[in-house]
Every structure is written in structure tokens, then in C-alpha cells.
Amino acid sequence: MRESTVTIEHVAQGADEMRAFGARLARALLATPAHESLLVTLSGDLGAGKTTLVGGLLAELGHIGPVRSPTYTLLEPYRLQGRDITHCDLYRLRHPDELDDLGLRDLRGAGSVLLVEWPEKAEGRLNAADLALTLDYAGPDARRLVAAACSPVGQAVLGRL
């Protein structure tokens, strides 16, 4: 029997509010025990705010400077707050088999956080997400975010938001 998925919804009025939500998420992630790894997926159209949210999260953890989507590099690793955090963008994947070349499975160590934009490009080849974020347009500057906890670890993170 599958656990029910817990969700929350949030509407961000502009980029600053999306970054603020990312900062809240960072604080909730940091409260996760150091031995737990987390997979957070971010789905949504181009311009929906995925990278803006990640920028707020990384800034809260101590990253200084701009955060760009790793559209061309595919992976951007960070070491912040004693954790390995990898920001992935799968938008340019031509075929899900390319995931094997990225070595995403090797990035899931104790305390790691894997942030994956465009997870649908993996066509089910990623492990199940702990937290699945879906962003869409709610107006010219507003974005609707639905956060779904898909594991006990994800539920704990969601409960701290």
C-alpha cells in the first residue's frame, strides 16, 4: 500500500518571493539528519521560476553570486553547510540513457541534496523524488508552486516549511 502524498501550495508574487520560498526550503532541508540524502525535482515551463527558487535556496545556504541554470553544463556542484548539493538541468537531454553518463546515482551520498530541473526528461530513470515541486504561471509576475512530499523524508521537510 502506497503512502498518501502530502502537498502544500504557495503563490509567489515575483522573483523575490520565489527566492524567499527557496530560502525557506533551504532551512527545512538543513534540519534533515546529515545521513539522509534528498532528491528534489522541479517541474514547470521555461520561465516558471525553477532556477530562481534554487537561487534562493543556495543563497540561504551561503552561496555568493548569481545562480544560473546548468542548461549547458547539466550539473553544477556546490559544497555548502557541510553538504554536497548538485543542481541539475535535464532540459537538453536527447535521450534518458544520457543520465548514465551524468553519474547522478553516484551523487546520492549521505547528506547530499540533488536538485533536478526537468525530471520528466529522465522518463522514470531517476529514483523516486523525496520532494516534487511543480511551478506554473498564476499571472504575469505570479507563480503557483505545488510541493508534494513523496517519501517520509520529504514529508518531514514539507512539515518544516
Read off the pLDDT of residues 5-23 as tens digits, 9 standing for 90 and up. Answer: 789 999 999 999 999 999 9
In a domain, 159, yes or no: no
Number of domains the chain is built from: 1
pLDDT number for residue 22: 96
Range of the domain at 35: 6-138
In a domain, 88, yes or no: yes
User: Could you give the dihedral angle defined by the CA atoms of residues 5, 148, 39 and 126, in that order, rounded to the nearest 10 degrees?
Assistant: 70
* pLDDT band per the 50, 70, 90 thresholds, residue 68: confident
- Cα–Cα distances in angstroms (integers) from residue 129 to residues 41, 63, 64, 109, in the given order: 6, 24, 27, 15
Cα–Cα distance for residue pair 149/68, rounded to 1 Å: 26
In a domain, 49, yes or no: yes
In a domain, 22, yes or no: yes
Cα–Cα distance for residue pair 108/145, rounded to 1 Å: 25
Cα–Cα distance for residue pair 120/10, rounded to 1 Å: 22
Amino acid code (one letter) for 103: G
pLDDT number for residue 106: 72
Q: Is the pLDDT of residue 3 over 70?
A: no
In a domain, 69, yes or no: yes
In a domain, 19, yes or no: yes
Could you tell me the CATH number of the domain that includes residue 21? 3.40.50.300
Read off the pLDDT of residues 69-114 as tens digits, 9 standing for 90 and up. Answer: 887 788 899 999 989 999 999 888 887 777 777 777 777 778 889 9
